[in-house]
Structure 1
Amino acid sequence: MKPHLEKSRKYWRANLRMVGLLLLIWFLVSYGAGILFRQWLDQFSLGGFKLGFWFAQQGSIYVFVLLIFIYVFWMNRLDHKYGYDEDPKEPQNL
């Protein structure tokens, strides 16, 4: 197999693992904390609201936005590791 194809496969595999993990975290926070574990979480409060309710209404949105930033950071590191990062010296085609 050609080296660049093997590098591309490893890059894609790492990318899929990363996206899968981030989607699992998002699922656990939005569905798990907001629905499945709501009753258990309701024994705690955050800002005067029961924690299960807070996750269902706002917490999952905050976690989603945080996961976007984590994805960008992690993807930049992955791009750099496999040599797919943008060269800052080259002009950007917009």
Structure 2
Amino acid sequence: MPTHKEQMKKYWKRNIRTVLILLSVWFIVSFGFGIILAEPLNAIRLGGYQLGFWFAQQGSIFTFVVLIFVYVYRMNKLDEEFDVNEK
């Protein structure tokens, strides 16, 4: 049976992995779509605006807000899995 310390190491490893994945998604959307791929995306229009411009101005913000909710959901599942109680 794993000790409490081993369980907490696994918990934090999974937590950090989740954070890194979510930050990677945000980086890809904000930097990749908003800067690197802006020119090809500008050929597509969204709500009257070029898609590259939209990602640079709004898309990364919307993505960040969605990722916050995804993080909360994943952490609640992780807390249940590792039986972490609020104190």
TM-score, length of structure 1 as denominator length: 0.87
Give 1:66-85 correspondences, 5 Å limit.
66-85=66-85
Point out 4+ residue stretches in structure 1 off by more than 3 angstroms.
Answer: none
Radius of gyration: which is bigger? 1
Are 1:39 and 2:39 an aligned pair?
yes
Q: Look up the match of 2:5.
A: 5
Runs of 5+ unmatched residues, structure 1: 87-91
Q: Which residue of 1 aligns with 2:53?
A: 53
The AA in structure 2 aligned to 1:53 is: F
Residue 17 (structure 1) aligns with: 17
Residues in 1 aligned to 2:40 and 2:15: alpha-carbon distance in whole angstroms: 34
Q: TM-score with structure 2 length normalisation? A: 0.93
Q: Is the 8 A contact 1:76 1:85 kept in 2?
A: no
C-alpha offsets along residues 2-34 of structure 1, whole Å, 9 cap, x if unaligned?
A: 611110110000001000000000000111110
For residue 43 of structure 1, give the secondary structure of its aligned residue in structure 2: coil
Q: What is the identity percentage for the equivalent residue pairs of Structure 1 and Structure 2?
A: 51
Aligned residues: 86
